[in-house]
A and B are shown apart, each in its own frame.
Chain A
């Protein structure tokens, strides 16, 4: 195996769990998530000589996000509901299984853009400005979308995740 290929194999091994997990949070479906990760890695491999010494992970993440977001537009659009599944008032990290089920259910109550913002901001931990760049929207849109999403999820935001003068509702 060529050196570049070995590097790429290492890259896939190191990043596949995280990227597939992100795809799962975005799609809510294991198989779709695994397919999306496979596609993102394929396109990253095609550009490997160009991105291997830059931000390969960022490139793969961008491809993944675009692939998933594009997939949202084509099938029957999923509309968010205001009805949250009945669940505990406060998250309990000890109740892992319950929590996972709750998380999967509540993420489905978000719109596509809200989910994308939540995943980029709180799973990948990107600064708001980077989220805006990644999604091609304004910083204000990221702030308001994030605020609205957290409010829907009944998660109390940090001050920096809250719009000035309100929670974005």
Chain B
């Protein structure tokens, strides 16, 4: 063996005392909390939609279902979707502005907008964000997310999601900050990365942010977000 082999052997030598076993119950509870933020929606909405459209809402409280399989639709107990061959499907009704990301895909530009949330189990949440496609005047929701703990407008970050490939398309990491954020950053591989920001016209205290997939390609590389005010003061820990 040369020295490098010795060094590698030393690196891999197990510790005197084994490390504590991870707390599986705690891991799963924490992981479920992260998943619960998600509302995966498929379907098409918009005035230009034609032909039969199946609108299926996936309510992601169903946790162990294979990812793209849509299941429940709150608050309706039924998920049955009526093929609407004669009447157009209900159009997406964004609250406030639709934020364009400038990212063009075959399905249209990726946009982010807010949509009402009305769930009895989430009394503090009146809205959530949706990432979707905009083609002409139609909007197609792809990934929706909202606050699941406490108030949706309490100071701080909310509903950060994305950074996933959904339907062969990378949906950027996005979310919103309730408070006077003028700059939002994260770090990827030690490099500071700036988020794109847009004030929400329905409530200027809410700032919608998103990271271009070129800079944050995957949620796995995301590190805790930091918000700053207009004077450069840090708003979050």
Contacts and interface: CB of A to CB of B under 8 A. Distances in A.
Physical interaction between A and B: yes
Interface of A: 2, 4-5, 8-9, 12, 16-17, 20-21, 24-25, 30, 33-34, 37-38, 41-50, 59, 62-63, 66-67, 69-70, 73, 90-93, 96-97, 99-100, 102-103, 112-113, 118-119, 122-123, 125, 135-137, 150, 153, 155-158, 161
A9 B23 CA distance: 10
Given A50-B67, A69-B190, A91 B14 contact: no
A6 to B, nearest CB: 11
A64 B223 CA distance: 11
Interface residues of B, number: 45
B187 to A, nearest CB: 6
Interface in B208-227: 219-224
B231 interface: no
A43 B4 contact: no
Contact of A42 (B21, B30, B222): B30
B19 A30 contact: yes
A91 B10 contact: yes
Contacts, number: 146
B31 A62 contact: no
B35 interface: yes
Contacts of B64: 2, 4-5, 49
Contacts of A2: 64
A21 B189 contact: no
Nearest to B222: A66
A57 to B, nearest CB: 13
Contacts of A112: 190
A17 B18 CA distance: 8
16 contacts: A5-B28, A12-B27, A34-B19, A41-B31, A42-B30, A42-B31, A42-B34, A43-B31, A45-B30, A46-B35, A48-B31, A49-B65, A62-B220, A69-B190, A93-B9, A155-B6
Interface of B: 2-4, 6-16, 18-24, 26-28, 30-32, 34-35, 64-67, 164, 187-191, 219-224
B27 A45 contact: yes
Q: Which 7 pairs of residues, A with B, have the shortest CB-CB distance?
A: A136-B189, A45-B31, A46-B34, A70-B223, A42-B30, A91-B6, A20-B19
Contacts of A96: 13
A24 B34 contact: no
A38 B9 contact: no
A8 B35 CA distance: 15
A47 B66 CA distance: 11
Contacts of A103: 10-11, 13
Nearest to A89: B3
Contacts of B10: 91, 93, 99-100, 102-103
Given A12-B24, A67-B223, A100 B31 contact: no
